[in-house]
């Protein structure tokens, strides 16, 4: 599918966005091993979160979906049944990496597959800790999906993660629910803590602090009634687009503002965006608020170290912003971008160049010069949702229409993106 986006002078109005992808995955997985019926409202409409539901269903769990309301009847930590065939995670790294933690403690083998993109993403990062806990895990060429997991009784471990990855941390903590004793994970830089927050909400014995988390198994999780906040990583496209367009005044309702995700708001404010947080409250341990953003002059800046990790999903759209900022944007310490749904250093640079923007790449990042103007042209999502949406933002401030090929990729996290964008630009 090709979407053609015309330049716009502003974004305005008030939008509600779909439920957070990271939180939706976690609520669904925990509900699937809780003892009874959980209800999750505002569940992400993205295909990735529905891949998680499909896998849970294939494991014999009753899942009822009515729009964005999902009911899941968990049968406790050992309520899964051996799946009749492969578990298909689609495009979703979160589904494969996190659910593997729960499969590692099951007394039956499972085979996990994914689409072409997921089949190229590294899995040693979860295989190593799960093997140390006692599960047998095999992969194609020792590292890529399909994964075959032969679970069983697990030992608790203390695990020092070599890469900063919330998916790996979550995988180990979920496996730790089934191991007898304390499982501890330490991370090199702080990553999103939705799993720790959600585990607490479901009644697990969990402790955590900056850079570490610990869970006590075997756990008994209680079913819950939950509401998922709007997705800040989806909001990012609208926040950046509105900040870039001078006449904008846009309000985004009900957005998750967990401090381990909200670095985006601080970074945008630091580069000069006129962004305000209104009405902040707490729901199930997660801060939720309203954001208002207006068009402003943007300075640009540097993303490095822990900030690159904290903003890893937002870098494509921030690189777009860099091109129209005063000083441009330099991104370092972000080699993880190379193993996302696409190699996002290359796919961002390729599309920027197609729209006439000067950019240099490095093994761990890129540098986009400031004070440039996007030209009309054709870009490609390369099958990556965040690339499709980042370049729709570029299109809004181009000197003519931009065609985005493979625009359907946005559905992985945000099926309503194109209609919401048109609504705000109208």
Active site residues: 313
Nearest to 405 by CA among 358, 350, 366: 350
CB of 22 to ligand S3P, least distance (A): 3
42 binds ligand S3P, rule: CB under 6 A? no
> Should residue 261 be labelled a site residue for ligand S3P when binding is judged by CB under 6 A?
no
To ligand S3P, the closest distance from the beta carbon of 218 in angstroms equals 24
Segment 55 to 114, residues that bind ligand S3P, using CB under 6 A: 94
Is there binding between residue 329 and ligand S3P (CB under 6 A)? Answer: no
Question: Applying CB under 6 A, does 32 fall inside the site for ligand S3P?
Answer: no
CB of 236 to ligand S3P, least distance (A): 12
Q: Residue 165 interacts with ligand S3P (CB under 6 A)?
A: yes
18 versus 295: smaller Cβ distance to ligand S3P: 18
Window of 160-168, 211-219, 235-243, 372-380 that interacts with ligand S3P by CB under 6 A: 160-168
| 3-class secondary-structure state, position 141 | coil
* DSSP conformation class of 280: E
3-class SS at 310? helix
If the CB atoms of residues 190 and 294 are measured against ligand S3P, the closer one turns out to be 190
Task: Tell me which of 5, 8, 22, 300 binds ligand S3P, using CB under 6 A.
Answer: 22
- Tell how far CA 110 is from the center of its chain: 24
Report the first-to-last Cα separation within the chain, whole angstroms: 22
- Should residue 389 be labelled a site residue for ligand S3P when binding is judged by CB under 6 A? no
Q: How far is the CB of 311 from ligand S3P (least distance, A)?
A: 10
Q: What share of the chain is helix, strand, coil (3-state, %, to 5)?
A: 35, 30, 35
CB-nearer residue toward ligand S3P: 3 or 187: 187
Cα–Cα distances in Å, from 176 out to 116, 153, 209, 219? 30, 11, 17, 9
Q: Do 198 and 215 contact (CB within 8 A), yes or no?
A: no
CB of 385 to ligand S3P, least distance (A): 10
Query: Any contact of residue 121 with ligand S3P (CB under 6 A)?
Result: no
Q: Of the listed pieces 106-114, 134-142, 164-172, 322-330, which binds ligand S3P according to CB under 6 A?
A: 164-172
Binding of ligand S3P by 348 (CB under 6 A): no
Measured distance CA(290)–CA(191) in Å, rounded: 23
Beta strand pairing status for 2-5 and 12-16?
Answer: unpaired
Find out whether 166 and 90 touch, Cβ atoms under 8 Å: no
Under rule CB under 6 A, how many of the chain's residues touch ligand S3P? 10
Question: Helices 194-201 and 166-176 meet at what angle, rounded to 10?
Answer: 30
Q: Is 234 in the site for ligand S3P (CB under 6 A)?
A: no
Residue 426 has a CB neighbour count (10 Å cut-off) of 9
Q: Hey, which residues between 185 and 214 contact ligand S3P (CB under 6 A)?
A: 192
Cβ distance to ligand S3P smaller for residue 336 or 364: 336
Count of alpha carbons within 13 Å of 167, Cβ hemisphere only?
22
Cβ distance to ligand S3P smaller for residue 122 or 134: 122
- CA 411 to chain centroid: 13
Residues of this chain, 299-328, that bind ligand S3P according to CB under 6 A: 312-313
Q: Which is nearer to ligand S3P, 92 or 372 (CB)?
A: 92
CA angle centred on 302, ends 301 and 303, rounded to 5°? 130
Place of tokens 């190699």: 343
Contact by Cβ (8 Å): 82, 96: no
Q: Does 24 bind ligand S3P (CB under 6 A)?
A: no
Between 333 and 369, CB nearer to ligand S3P? 333
Interface residues with ligand S3P (CB under 6 A)?
Answer: 22, 94, 165-167, 170, 192, 312-313, 336
């Amino acid at each position: 599918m090709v979407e053609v986006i015309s330049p716009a002078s502003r974004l305005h109005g008030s939008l509600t966005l779909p439920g957070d992808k990271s939180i939706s995955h976690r609520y669904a997985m925990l509900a699937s091993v809780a003892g009874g019926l959980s209800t999750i409202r505002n569940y992400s409409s993205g295909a990735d979160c529905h891949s998680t539901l499909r896998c849970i269903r294939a494991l014999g769990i009753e899942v009822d979906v009515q729009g964005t309301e999902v009911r899941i009847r968990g049968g406790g930590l050992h309520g899964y049944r051996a799946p009749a065939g492969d578990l298909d995670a689609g495009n979703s790294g979160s589904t494969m990496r996190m659910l593997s933690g729960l499969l590692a403690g099951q007394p039956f083998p499972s085979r996990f597959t994914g689409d072409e993109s997921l089949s190229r993403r590294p899995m040693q990062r979860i295989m190593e800790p799960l093997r140390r806990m006692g599960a047998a895990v095999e992969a194609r060429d020792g590292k890529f999906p399909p994964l075959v997991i032969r679970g069983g009784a697990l030992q608790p471990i203390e695990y020092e993660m070599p890469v900063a990855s919330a998916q790996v941390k979550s995988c180990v903590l979920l496996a730790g629910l089934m191991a007898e004793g304390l499982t501890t994970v330490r991370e090199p830089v702080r990553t999103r803590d939705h799993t720790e927050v959600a585990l607490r909400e479901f009644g697990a014995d969990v402790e955590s602090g900056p850079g570490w988390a610990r869970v006590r198994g075997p756990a008994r999780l209680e079913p819950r009634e939950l509401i998922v906040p709007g997705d800040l990583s989806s909001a990012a496209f609208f926040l950046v687009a509105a900040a870039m367009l001078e006449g904008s005044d846009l309000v985004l309702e009900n957005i998750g503002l967990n401090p381990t995700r909200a670095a985006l708001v601080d970074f945008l404010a630091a580069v000069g965006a006129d962004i305000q947080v209104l009405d902040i409250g707490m729901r199930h341990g997660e801060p939720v608020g309203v954001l208002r953003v207006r068009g402003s002059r943007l300075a640009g800046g540097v993303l490095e170290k822990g900030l690159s990790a904290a903003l890893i999903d937002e870098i494509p759209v921030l690189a777009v912003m860099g091109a129209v900022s005063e000083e441009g944007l330099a991104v370092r310490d972000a080699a993880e971008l190379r193993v996302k749904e696409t190699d996002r250093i290359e796919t961002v640079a390729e599309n920027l160049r197609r729209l006439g923007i000067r950019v240099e790449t490095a093994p761990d990042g890129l540098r986009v010069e400031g004070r440039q103007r996007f030209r009309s042209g054709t870009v490609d999502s390369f099958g990556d949702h965040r690339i499709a949406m980042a370049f729709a933002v570029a299109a809004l401030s181009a000197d003519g229409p931009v065609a985005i090929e493979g625009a359907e990729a946005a559905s992985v996290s945000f099926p309503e993106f194109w209609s919401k964008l048109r609504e705000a630009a109208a």
